[in-house]
Amino acid sequence: MNNSRPHGRALRMGRISETGRCYLVTTVTHERQPFFADWHCGRRLVHTLAWESFRAETLAFVVMPDHLHWLMALKEGAYLDTVMRSIKNVSSRQVNASLKRRGKLWQSGFHDHALRKDEDLVATARYIVANPLRAGLVRSVGDYSLWDAVWL
């Protein structure tokens, strides 16, 4: 195995997409650059998630300076890899235009966890939105604006 290449391709091996299934998806910016420390860039990503609502129902998300955590449910006919490719493509164009830059915005690949029926969605959402608090970016979740959850 060639260890010099990113493992994004390996993350896709064995991946399936199941309509109605809830997934916790994490994707990271290229070289962990904090593009979303710029609030306007973070809002562009949030709008991209909303735009993708015809394929995926957003249950919770948080946009961190260098990554995204997204709890979502796939809609009929949607595939996880297609949804993520779209999110990355659209947000890359918008953020690059906003920052007047060119180049990669996202690392290739993403991590996903298909939630089991017995996993607590609300607890998962709370864990997601508390990310800025755990990272020391804010003292209260309410002080961070790049998150949302249908239950909170």
69-108 per-position pLDDT tens digit: 999 999 999 999 999 999 999 999 999 999 999 999 999 9
22-70 per-position pLDDT tens digit: 999 999 999 999 999 999 999 999 999 999 999 999 999 999 999 999 9
pLDDT exceeds cutoff 60 at 8: no
pLDDT exceeds cutoff 50 at 11: no
| Run of H or E residues at 71 | strand 67-74
| Closest to 33 in 3D by CA, of 104, 118, 135, 113 | 104
The token duo for 1 is 């195995």
Residue 2 burial (C-beta neighbours within 10 Å; 0-12, 13-18, 19+): exposed
Question: CA of 31: how far to CAs of 27, 34, 82, 103, 136, in Å?
Answer: 12, 9, 23, 12, 21
The token duo for 31 is 């070289």
User: Where in the chain are the domains?
Assistant: 19-134
The token duo for 122 is 């609300």
- For domain 19-134, the CATH superfamily is Transposase IS200-like (3.30.70.1290)
What are the two backbone dihedrals, phi and then psi, of residue 5, each rounded to the nearest 5 degrees? Answer: -95, 150
- Which are the contacts of 118, defined by CB distance < 8 A and separation ≥ 6? none
The model's confidence at residue 117, banded by pLDDT at 50, 70 and 90, is: confident
Cα 140 from Cα 147, distance rounded (Å): 13
pLDDT exceeds cutoff 90 at 150: yes
